[in-house]
A = this chain, B = another copy of it.
């Protein structure tokens, strides 16, 4: 099983390299902008046009895989540090755990590197260290190492965290973008856009009298349930973080050379998220999540997968939101509630910086 998975990964790497070579954009920018960190087109250009060729890899994925070990790193610069439903410490754990889970790896251990601003209130540090410890315990990962740097006042905004996770590829998992096939069903694990909306409300950017909590959580239980229910019929997973579900669908449609048709009416969205999205003038499908996954499953097992997902705590509102088509390759289309169709493109710019 391990060597089969390894062959599979080699295939995946070859596939990704081919795709990337065919379409690699050039990084021609003269200055870094917030958009380079937003998860949309500018981020893609930075990764595919600069980082990937420099490091000799097809793309800087959410998790790299060596033998059966998956490794992933993320930095967290969320503002404010604490928000309804979570804080930077929980994001640092769950974000890392989820990148492993999306690679089909059971999270094992993590490290935590902190950049602190001189003068930071030590109680804020205590709170976030505690948040990391609680989230790690909840996710079943051990914190095995770390690093602390302090920069002068004004050279950081309170605190930034970088976390790295390692995990071991689950033998049931055969996940890769190129496994996605026309006919595959697209599932989401719960209502979308709650993390981004919670951050917006916490910043008081709107005159909106509503409360919503971030969705930040470990997605390994959901992945475990999906693998148990449908095994290798689960074709690909992504957590819909920066850039939201729309960005995930675009990335995978492009990587797999397929089209995705999403049914707007089937996408679970809470009323608060819908209202905030309307105020901001953006589609909830572009709003960031920190505890929601998108799964591509073979059509004959989609019902079973959805049932398994709904049995996981926090995923009761999981839904089937669309399907994969052969044409037009690389495109994402939305079937609107009114029966029309529109293209759902990649995000350009950053409507909401420092979301995670």
Contacts and interface: CB of A to CB of B under 8 A. Distances in A.
Interface stretch (A30-38, A224-232, A261-269): A30-38
Nearest to A242: B149
Nearest to A133: B54
Given A50-B125, A154-B154, A111 B144 contact: no
Interface string A38-79: 100001001100110011110011111110010111111100
Contacts of A144: 57, 61, 64-66, 71
A132 interface: yes
A126 B50 contact: yes
A147 interface: yes
Nearest to A148: B37
A67 to B, nearest CB: 9
Contacts of A354: 149, 151-152
Nearest to A164: B164
Contact of A160 (B61, B115, B121, B126): B115
The complex is assembled from copies of this chain, and their number is 2
Given A122-B30, A353-B150, A72 B145 contact: yes
A114 interface: yes
A109 interface: yes
Nearest to A120: B32
Interface string A156-174: 1100101110100000000
A122 B77 contact: no
Interface residues of A, number: 80
A30 B121 contact: yes
A117 interface: yes
B51 A145 contact: no
B166 A132 contact: no
A130 interface: yes
A331 to B, nearest CB: 26
A143 interface: yes
A55 B130 CA distance: 8
Contacts of A76: 149
A157 B76 CA distance: 16
Interface in A80-120: 108-109, 111-120
Given A50-B125, A55-B133, A150-B353, 16 more contacts: A35-B150, A36-B150, A37-B151, A47-B148, A50-B126, A50-B129, A62-B145, A64-B109, A64-B111, A64-B145, A66-B142, A66-B144, A72-B145, A75-B149, A151-B354, A166-B166
18 contacts: A32-B118, A33-B118, A34-B152, A37-B116, A37-B151, A50-B126, A54-B130, A54-B133, A55-B129, A55-B136, A57-B143, A64-B144, A73-B111, A73-B145, A115-B162, A151-B354, A156-B157, A160-B160
Interface of A: 27, 29-38, 43, 46-47, 50-51, 54-57, 60-66, 69, 71-77, 108-109, 111-123, 125-126, 129-130, 132-133, 136, 142-152, 154-157, 160, 162-164, 166, 350, 353-354
4 tightest CB-CB pairs across the interface, nearest first?
A64-B144, A37-B150, A162-B162, A73-B111
